[in-house]
Structure 1
Amino acid sequence: MDPIERRNELAQLEPELVKTLPPLASTLTEEYITIPGPLVKRLKVIRPTQVPPSAPLILLFHGGGFRAGTIEQVTRPAREFAETFGAVVVSASYKLLPEHVFPENIEDAYDTLVWVAKNAKEQFGVDLLNGFVVGGYSAGGNIAAVLAPLAIERGDLPPSVQLTGSFIIIPALLVPDILPKEYTSLYTSRVENKDGLGDDALTTQVLDAIIAALKPDVHSSLFSPFNCSDGVLKKLPRTYIQVGGKDCLRNDGVVYEAFLKARGVAVKLDLSETLGHTAYSVFTQKGDEEELELKAKTMEGMKWLLRL
């Protein structure tokens, strides 16, 4: 499908899927705010009606192959994080293909991260010392994984503020050129799962086309945390990774777990053997056993990041 067609399709579909979710809890509020700047950015904010003094802040970036997706995509987990953990959850987007190629997506997302950090108290009523998690799904998982070390490298967050967790869901993090040799035996899913799982699966061929369209410098730290120095990597916060056993991206997450562990980072990996490129979002509404497992892992992963 043409990238613009896909973008338009999801822009229509995701808000409709939000309407099919259970009603918003009476203890929560949802609102849209904008970040001022050359390009007005719209954020979706989900938070308790009365934000508790201990509230953490969770910033989430949607998936969509760097070319599609909206801030509505993560509404389901965002609501549950807010209700269960008393968190303020901010859903954000970023510049998309084909109009914007690497590294515009990362720089745009980084600007959002810095703005949220600098305005956490005024805009959201949150003290980031309670917890500050950056996360994302698929392409958003790549972005979240890149932003954590980038924030350390650049030092643009307010004094005393640092990320306390990374929530990395079904991410794209590797290409063969940057795979550390010691993990070659783990990097098998691009071949084993090249056809994906299901009719609308992410295949290795589609993934390669997306990366080609992105036109990245694959050796840049803006493309992957695998390109960061050990000095930066050792400072990373707790990191939660979730992958599907039938996903062609499975071993991006598996290798990343091993890579971080070797550098002393606290990391937790969940691998759902029977699942493909899927995650707990507005698209998971069947309520079957696999989805219930996915929900449980997602909630437990965030709970672990928040040290609750």
Structure 2
Amino acid sequence: MATTDIHPELRKAARFAPRRLITPLTLPVIRRLTVFQRARTDDVDILTLESGIGIRLYRPAGTETTAPALLWIHGGGYVIGTAAQDDLLCRRFVKELGITVAAVDYRLAPEHPYPVPLEDCYTALQWLARLPGVDADRIAIGGASAGGGLCAALALLARDRDGVKPVFQVLVYPMIDDRSVGTHLYNPGHRLWDATSNKFGWKAYLGGADPAVAAPARRTDLAGLPPAWLGVGTLDLFHDEDLEYAERLKAAGVPCQVHVVPGAFHGFDGIVAKADISTAFFYSQCDSLRESFGG
């Protein structure tokens, strides 16, 4: 399969998916549209922490003992998105693994640049560890796109601070490098997120912060991080930077399972969730999480 070939299961969706979703002009419009986003509330607890951070909490039915948990961080280029957008995914994790899942509504850039979104995620992690019924020694963290970037940054932050130490990190096509590295930055197979959107998202998130600190891929010391699962498609803008990060994790002694999907563009598993490649992508995450929890 050539580097520009879209996977057969994704070709129909690719015809309608935009190559660029976020720009300074479209940002206000997309944010307004998310206000009308509908999500089920019958089996989820919608909470607000003392800090003002929102949490959507999903629990397995009939669990009487302590169980592992996953802190999930939504994507959106650091500038859009809500925890509710991943309702279906979080429910699937609960059903498949029998764990508690907490999805965090962190504050968004550019109004709240680094380190605010990251600190929001850290606060949610500490809260989750104190939640009755959660095994504080078996908490994983995960996220997609910008959520994957925040997950990688959270793993680094938790390593460097006293407190909860996640046992695993799930990095779903994570947005981790503000330099937009790679050899196919303008690949015609890209969808949803391109190099122009990436520059805008990073500029909004970084504000005046030092990229060497704020961007996980720029961090030089990756030793001591929790084991990881990293997945990305070959037509994802983040493909090269993600695989490079995975290799650096391994070089630092951090186990990292890599799942590459040929012909898959950014966010493919959310757009065509029932495709075989999307299902395999999800269950690969589940298998790694289950192993990390000792199940």
Q: Deviations over 1:258-292 (max 9, x none)?
A: 001001111111111111111544x444x233333
Give the 5 Å matches for 1:9-24: 9-13=33-37, 15=38, 18=39
Indicate if the aligned counterparts of 1:58 and 1:87 stay in contact, CA closer than 8 A. Answer: yes
Q: Which has the higher contact order (CA 8 A, sep 6+)?
A: 2
1:246-261 matches, cutoff 5 A: 246-261=235-250
Aligned to 1:289: 276
Alignment of 1:28-47 (within 5 A): 29-37=43-51, 40-47=52-59
SS in 2 for 1:244: strand
| Identity of matched residues, % | 23
Aligned residue type for 1:224: P
1:210 aligns with 2:201: yes
TM-score calculated relative to the size of structure 1? 0.79
* TM-score normalised according to structure 2 size: 0.82
Q: Which residue of 2 aligns with 1:180?
A: none
Corresponding letter in the other structure for 1:219: A
Query: How far did residue 75 of structure 1 move?
Result: 1.7
- Aligned-pair Cα RMSD in Å: 2.4
Query: Residue 120 of structure 1: which of 128, 131, 134 is its match?
Result: 131
| 1:235-254 equivalences in 2 (<5 Å) | 235-254=224-243
2:177 touches 2:217 (CA, 8 Å); kept in 1? no
Whole-Å separation in 1 of the counterparts to 2:71 and 2:151: 9
Amino acid at match of 1:151: A
Alpha-carbon distance change, 300 to 284 in structure 1, aligned in 2, over 3 angstroms: farther
How many residues end up aligned between the 2 structures?
269
Q: Tell me how far apart the structure 2 counterparts of residues 297 and 247 of structure 1 sit (CA, whole Å).
A: 18
Aligned to 1:224: 216
**Structure 1: 5+ residue stretches without partners:** 178-186
Query: Could you say which residue in structure 2 is the equivalent of 1:72?
Result: 84
Give 1:8's match in structure 2, choosing from 17, 32, 38: 32
- Distance in 2 (alpha carbons) for counterparts of 1:4 and 1:228: 36
* Preserved CA contact (<8 Å) 1:76 1:280: no
Deviation, structure 1 residue 193: 4.4
> Which of 152, 158, 170 is equivalent to 1:151?
158
Once residues 252 and 301 of structure 1 are traced to their aligned partners in structure 2, the CA distance between those partners, rounded to angstroms, is: 22
Q: 1:132 aligns with which of 139, 144, 151?
A: 139
For 1:172 and 1:205, locate their aligned partners in 2 and report how far apart those are by CA, in whole Å. 14
SS class of match (2:228): strand
Asked whether the 8 Å contact 1:43–1:71 carries over to 2, the reply is yes
> How has the CA–CA distance of structure 1 residues 293 and 60 changed in structure 2, closer, same or farther, with 3 Å as cutoff?
same
